[in-house]
A and B are shown apart, each in its own frame.
Chain A
Amino acid sequence: MKVHEYQARELLASAGIPVPPARVIESIDDAAGAYKDASRDAGTDLVVVKAQVHAGGRGKAGFVKLVRSASEATDAARFMLSNRMVSVQTGAEGIEVKKLLIAAGVDIAHEYYLAVTTDRATRRNVLIASAEGGVEIEKVAEENPKAIIKTPIHPLMGLQGHQAREVAFKLGMKGKQIGQAVKIMTALAQLYVDKDCTLAEINPLILTPPTADAPDGQLLAIDAKFNFDDNATFRHKDVQAMFDPAEENPGELRAARMGLSYIALDGSIGCLVNGAGLAMATMDIIKHHGGEPANFLDVGGSASEEAVTEAFRIILADGTVKAVLVNIFGGIMRCDIIAQGIINAARNVENTDGSKGFQVPLVVRLEGNKVEAGRELLRAAASDLPTLQAADDLTDAAKKVVGAVG
């Protein structure tokens, strides 16, 4: 689960990590007031207006703007709240922006990268730091891997002071910066564990230029990104409350509510499979035979009639689907029962024109317990489900469904 930048900032602030003053607004009318507040708090006329969406590419799309007056802030807010944001990550239809973050601009002497994530190879949470912040860390990792400092964190002891100090020194920090950095790193590592994150990232963590009050400058978190372990949100009511359904694909959201695992993709062949590994493998075999999968969909081990019906609805709601492949390995459950469920679901599924019954080609591959009885049922159902074909095996199924799309 992901959250918005403004929510990430709130999490950082709650952990004692300094962030520049900011406001969140939802209407154009509030932009001028928010500008004045942010500007006054920070003692600067430079303020940044940022659209609150999960998708990246905001800057290039014109949805992050530096403004120097209340009227400029209002203009920026009007643009962002009345236009859909289209970026490389959103697709052509773009996404609606509902909230804006209005934050005081800060002078930057240096940009750092700081994150905590879990390294599955060593089975440890790791602190990742770099003095080359502000850019994509993947790029730094690729071009200059030595610029990335990785520090393993003990699962019970947490990040130790000496570890954080060592990182700060390696980042080239000095004087009072060290103490500030240790505090930020320790807080971030603790927050990561406390909230069951899978990523807690500050990029950039900036150092302000020296002032009379702060001769070594001040470290501030400018932008942050958090991902949470979906398996652990049950024990974090506050994290659940940050969930924004508007950011999710409607099909994926609907599937999740039904306990199905669904991911929309760009192709034309819908897939309905039991088991995540087999679902991935089914996408692969479609591609292997020249087709393009329209989705990943795992209906779960039992493949019940209710689950299959709902899965068909979700797949068919994607208007680009030209054919559907059902691939079920009937392990514990008998293939004849599964086949009857698929037939009933195919008969009852509603089309966009209000009629019932499957209209696009439907190829069904069953294997396992009582498979012959299952195939017999599928063949017998062909009279009222003319688009239904039973496949002999996995390869046959892939060829049939790719052939049906043409």
Chain B
Amino acid sequence: MPVLVNADTKVICQGITGAFGAQHTKGCLEYGTRLVGGVTPGKGGTKDDNGLPIFDTVRGAVDATGAEATMIFVPPAFAGDAILEAAGAGIRLICCITEGVPVQDMLRVRMRLDEINLAARGADTHPTENLITLIGPNCPGIITPGPKTGRGDSAGDPYTDSGCKIGIMPGYIHTHVSESRLGKTIGIVSRSGTLTYEAVWQTSQLGFGQSTCIGIGGDPVRGLDHTACVELFDQDPDTDGILMIGEIGGADEEDAADYIKRHVKKPVAAFIAGRTAPPGKRMGHAGAIISGGQGTAESKIEALRAAGVSVAESPADMGRAMAQAMGMG
């Protein structure tokens, strides 16, 4: 059982009638994701181009379809509200693709999600299945690859059998373990989109499959962090190695290094982008900025190495660093 999503995960799209939402709804259907509907307020009762039912509210979509996951494509000004609507409607996994959500919105949204989760946790210490998981915002999403059907690229004839892609990543670069040369799987977690694809590509080329790939996003305040994903992969029996791709800014990678040192037995490799980034300049992502001497690539690399992580010197060597960590390099 891979991490967070699998062939049975029923997914809806919030913002399904927008250009971006519609395009990627189609892409996910073609990959083989079990997309069951979408939400656009005011368009409830209609269907999208793929024949998926559209609802006015997330609650309506959940009641009618039993959806448990959502991907959000609504504009930044409404993204925080969309996340909380999903949380309130009983969605378990919320994937916010939207880029450009204001930080103050995310502070309030995260606090509310933490409150809901705290209340749900109650006396039980391990009911993870009852908790809400947010991925993003400003992220490519999450994918658990499935075996390729060897056939088409349409919703009626999907690219994989039992794959689940929730987001905007190119599905075809991923490899299911059954089709990997080495028969080993890597769990990948990353703050960056295209750099994740690069890592997926490299590991696939080297003969690995991927268990699940999670793009946690480039914003300073977000849902899942590196540590939580490393923990999920470490506990997943279907993940053999963990590849973590970080970047400058914040202390997420240092925190993960600390967790790895204390708990993780599986091989871990990493790459940190932004060694050459000057302080005070925001490198595209709102979260990728070195400020007050904090969040440098050096401090992250040092912390990871001290935790026994195999850190790639060059972005061309992410796959090789993983292979080395697994004793297969």
Which of A196, A276, A285 is close to B284, meaning CB atoms less than 8 Å apart? A276
The answer, yes or no, to whether A281 is at the interface (CB within 8 Å) is: yes
Residues of B52-105 at the interface with A, using a CB-CB cut-off of 8 Å, are 76-77, 100-105
The answer, yes or no, to whether B46 is at the interface (CB within 8 Å) is: no
- Segment at the A interface, from B124-132, B154-162, B167-175, B236-244: B167-175
A281, B271: Cβ atoms under 8 Å? yes
Which of A120, A142, A231, A288 is close to B100, meaning CB atoms less than 8 Å apart? A231
Residues of A357-406 at the interface with B, using a CB-CB cut-off of 8 Å, are 367-369, 393-395, 398
Q: Please, which residues of chain A bring their CB within 8 A of the CB of B44?
A: none
Report the bound CA distance from A155 to B111 in whole Å.
8
A278, B220: Cβ atoms under 8 Å? no
Best-surrounded residue of A232, A277, A283, A332 (most CB of chain B within 10 A): A277
B277, A369: Cβ atoms under 8 Å? no
The answer, yes or no, to whether A141 is at the interface (CB within 8 Å) is: yes
A280, B288: Cβ atoms under 8 Å? yes
B194, A118: Cβ atoms under 8 Å? no
Minimum C-beta distance from B168 to chain A (A): 7
The answer, yes or no, to whether A270 is at the interface (CB within 8 Å) is: no
Report the bound CA distance from A385 to B201 in whole Å.
29
Report the bound CA distance from A155 to B103 in whole Å.
11
Bits for B195-219, please: 1 = Cβ < 8 Å to A, else 0.
1111001000000000000000010
A229, B103: Cβ atoms under 8 Å? yes
A277-B192, A280-B274, A331-B170 as given contacts; A121 in contact with B250, CB under 8 Å? yes
The answer, yes or no, to whether B142 is at the interface (CB within 8 Å) is: no
A367, B195: Cβ atoms under 8 Å? no
A118, B283: Cβ atoms under 8 Å? no
Report the bound CA distance from A296 to B285 in whole Å.
12
Count, chain B residues at interface, CB 8 A: 59
The answer, yes or no, to whether B228 is at the interface (CB within 8 Å) is: no
A276-B288, A282-B315 as given contacts; A368 in contact with B170, CB under 8 Å? yes
Residues of B103-143 at the interface with A, using a CB-CB cut-off of 8 Å, are 103-105, 107-108, 110-111
Count, chain A residues at interface, CB 8 A: 53
Residue of B nearest to A333 (CB): B170
Q: Please, which residues of chain B bring their CB within 8 A of the CB of A230?
A: 286
Which of A120, A231, A234, A281 is close to B195, meaning CB atoms less than 8 Å apart? A281
The answer, yes or no, to whether A193 is at the interface (CB within 8 Å) is: yes
The answer, yes or no, to whether B27 is at the interface (CB within 8 Å) is: yes
Residue of A nearest to B293 (CB): A138
A280-B247, A367-B201 as given contacts; A156 in contact with B108, CB under 8 Å? yes
Report the bound CA distance from A278 to B88 in whole Å.
36
Which of A155, A196, A277, A282 is close to B218, meaning CB atoms less than 8 Å apart? A277
A331, B102: Cβ atoms under 8 Å? no
A301, B194: Cβ atoms under 8 Å? yes
The answer, yes or no, to whether B251 is at the interface (CB within 8 Å) is: yes
A285, B283: Cβ atoms under 8 Å? no
Report the bound CA distance from A124 to B169 in whole Å.
31
Report the bound CA distance from A284 to B300 in whole Å.
15
Minimum C-beta distance from B132 to chain A (A): 16
Which of B104, B292, B313, B315 is close to A196, meaning CB atoms less than 8 Å apart? B104
Best-surrounded residue of B76, B190, B220 (most CB of chain A within 10 A): B220
Give 18 new A-B contacts, CB below 8 A, not counting A123-B107, A273-B194, A395-B314.
A121-B250, A231-B103, A231-B286, A234-B76, A235-B77, A274-B194, A275-B284, A276-B288, A277-B190, A277-B218, A277-B247, A280-B248, A280-B288, A284-B273, A288-B313, A331-B170, A368-B170, A394-B315
A selection of 13 A-B contacts at a CB cut-off of 8 Å is A120-B220, A123-B221, A155-B107, A234-B76, A276-B218, A277-B193, A278-B315, A280-B288, A284-B273, A285-B316, A287-B275, A301-B168, A398-B316
A positions within 8 Å CB-CB of B: 118, 120-121, 123-125, 138, 141-142, 155-156, 193, 196, 198, 229-232, 234-235, 261, 263, 265, 273-288, 293, 296, 298, 301, 329, 331-332, 367-369, 393-395, 398
